[in-house]
Amino acid sequence: MTEDGTGRHSDAPTTDNKVTTGSLGASVQATQVDTVNIHPPAANLHSYLWALLGAVLVLCGVVVMAWGLRDSGVEGTADSGPTAVDSTTRDQPTTTTEPTTTEPTTTTPEPTTTTSPPPRPTIPAAAPVQVWWEGSVKLLGDGGPRSGWFFDYPEPQAGFAVGDLAYGDATSVTSDKVADWEGDVPPGQAQCADLLRATAGNTRASARRGNTFCFTTRGKRIGYATVTGTSPADPLDPSISLQVVVWDLR
């Protein structure tokens, strides 16, 4: 079946030898058709070409405009893409400024110069005085050769009723210089020397048992004696026993 429903193509020649091109928009009529050359109308073809060329030009213009907008650095809206960054800003190195710390200022007071007196020369401590003699003696009350003793010798020497220490009576001992010691412990050489200077002129010490007293010798030595016993009850043989320490001279 043909397009016109007759079994014949719509563009085939009719009985009047007229051919209608239909879709080409042209018709041909001839008494005898041996060869048919169909040419579309030149005007319509030119219109198509111009329309196509115009569309291409419009598309090119849009493309060129888009490239121009991208390269011109014009900022778009919030939805138009990333914001262009200035090349001078992008290439600058990032500089970080450290915070400045200010140290507290401490004012140091000026040193005070104090002038001290020159130190006194150090005096070495005196060496302790050596003991010259130490021992016990008995003073007899008969006035004989042992009623007194001298202590400036390596060994004490007896005297007749005289000496560095001598029998005075049943209650006393005599010496050139003598002074009772009131301390609980025996005195030292310096203590006896001070005590004798303070009691100058005293020549008699108590013969009470347990009494201690300081004395001097004829040779200027210093000593002390402690009464260890007496026998006043025997009038025929009275005596006073002493424990004696004598220091050497300095």
Residue range 94-143, pLDDT digits in tens:
555 565 655 656 667 666 666 776 777 676 666 789 999 999 999 999 88
Written as one letter, the residue type at 162 is V
Q: What is the DSSP letter of 120?
A: P
The encoded tokens of residue 226 equal 């402690």
Written as one letter, the residue type at 31 is T
Helices and strands of the chain, counted as H and E runs:
3, 12
The encoded tokens of residue 34 equal 């041996």
- Which among 42-51, 79-88, 239-248 has the top mean pLDDT? 239-248
Q: Does the pLDDT of residue 212 top 70, yes or no?
A: yes
Q: What is the DSSP letter of 35?
A: -
Q: In whole angstroms, how large is the CA radius of gyration of the chain?
A: 78
Q: Does the pLDDT of residue 156 top 70, yes or no?
A: yes
Span 7-20, mean pLDDT?
Answer: 50
Q: Are 175 and 206 in contact (CB under 8 A)?
A: no
Q: Are 202 and 174 in contact (CB under 8 A)?
A: no
With a CB cutoff of 8 Å and minimum separation 6, the contacts of 217 are 150, 151, 152, 164, 223, 246
Q: Are 147 and 173 in contact (CB under 8 A)?
A: no
Tell if the pTM clears 0.75, that is, is over it. Answer: no
The percent of residues above 90 in pLDDT, for the chain, comes to 41
Residue pointed to by tokens 């412990």: 185
Q: Does the pLDDT of residue 41 top 50, yes or no?
A: yes
pLDDT tens digits for range 62-76: 777 777 766 655 444
The encoded tokens of residue 137 equal 């003696």
Torsion of the alpha carbons at 66, 71, 75 and 78, rounded to the nearest 10? 60
Q: How many CA atoms lie within 13 A of 182 on its CB side?
A: 2
Q: How many CA atoms lie within 13 A of 175 on its CB side?
A: 30
The percent of residues above 70 in pLDDT, for the chain, comes to 60
Every domain of the chain and the residues it spans = 1-37, 131-247
- 32/17 Cα distance (integer angstroms): 7
With a CB cutoff of 8 Å and minimum separation 6, the contacts of 31 are 17
